[in-house]
Structure 1
């Protein structure tokens, strides 16, 4: 009885080994297909404030001198900050574009500009947020013109 059971088990093992050999090629093919797909995928590029400014320019929007903002403006809550001059608004006038680390930092910054604008018309500015970006522009800019900047941001940020 033990011999018969042993022979049956040996036969099953040989059968499994034979089946396993034919599946190996199809498994290798699947692995190669999966690897090729992952290699073909391009990494997602992180959008920067420079990318946004380039997109504004490409779309024909007015962008003068651009400078980095000191960290004191919203400090550790932001990744990047740029000051944008818009010559048609006057000397030393324009706005800012920020990329924040998280939504909380962005919300606080936007609230700062909204509250400042509510204190009087002299301090009003346009603000627009999309993703982790906040655009702030001088309130003297026409609404229709500011909407053009918004559209560019909408087109770039998912």
Structure 2
């Protein structure tokens, strides 16, 4: 009897862990997101791999991260493209950015989530432009 209970428990844990991750066919890379933004004719300046400093105080759980500049926003302004292995880590980072936006207007930033990707963009970007980035992301 104990053997069957153990098998059931292990099976349930396995199913739960599998359900928390993103399937391979639904996974995107930050490079694919940059390409989608570029193909949509959006303002994408220099891109580079994110460093530890780029994460600030936020949880550093991303699988990969790309920092991109939006030239129309001025020097060193743009956004981040973060990819995750599981949805709970993605949601944790999105909540981090969203809660900062709620705390002070000067910390406001746009966030968008699609599949395994979180995009965070400087809040100085007009909402109309944000919607164009969001449409390009959701088209993937």
User: What TM-score does the superposition give when structure 1 sets the normalisation length?
Assistant: 0.67
Q: What is the aligned counterpart of 1:127 among 111, 119, 122?
A: 111
Deviation at 1:80, TM superposition (A): 0.8
Contact map agreement 2:26 2:116 (CA 8 A) in 1 = no
Q: 1:59 aligns with which of 37, 40, 61?
A: 40
Name the count of aligned residue pairs.
Answer: 113
Give the ranges of 4+ consecutive aligned residues of structure 1 lying more than 3 Å apart after TM superposition.
43-46
Looking at structure 1, the residues matched to 35 and 124 of structure 2 have their Cα atoms a distance apart, in angstroms, of: 23
Tell me the distance in 2 between the aligned counterparts of 1:132 and 1:46: 6
Mark the runs of 5 or more structure 1 residues left unpaired by the alignment.
1-42
Structure with more helix by fraction:
1
Preserved contact between residue 26 and residue 115 of structure 2 (Cα < 8 Å): no
Judging changes above 3 Å, is the alpha-carbon distance between structure 1 residues 111 and 48 closer, same or farther for their aligned structure 2 residues?
Answer: same
1:49 and 2:30 correspond: yes
Aligned to 2:132: 148
Q: 1:91 aligns to what SS in structure 2?
A: coil
Structure showing greater Rg: 1
C-alpha deviation, 1:44, in angstroms: 4.8
What is the match of residue 86 of structure 1?
Answer: 70
Selected match of 2:89 from 97, 105, 113: 105
Structure 2 residues not aligned, in runs of 5+: 1-23
Query: Which of 61, 69, 76 is equivalent to 2:50?
Result: 69
